[in-house]
Amino acid sequence: MKRIRCVLSWRERKRKIILGLVLLSLSSLAFWGPKTPWALLGLVGLLPLISGITGY
């Protein structure tokens, strides 16, 4: 079975993880802070966070 290589550099992974955490902090505002549609967009932060952690 062929193994998939990691396609992200460590700098790009670090940027994605930070971006994901920042966006997730917006989603925490949706649950505990002001109820705005922008805060719900913070859930999009899961995509760069998972991508940065896994490296794919």
Domain ranges of the chain: 10-54
| pLDDT over 80 at 39, yes or no | no
Amino acid (one-letter) located at 54: T
Q: What percent of the chain has pLDDT over 90?
A: 0
- What's the confidence (pLDDT) of residue 23? 81
pLDDT at residue 56 tops 70: yes
Model pTM above 0.75:
no
pLDDT at 20: 87
CA distance 12 to 8: 6
Which has more confidence, 11 or 2?
Answer: 11
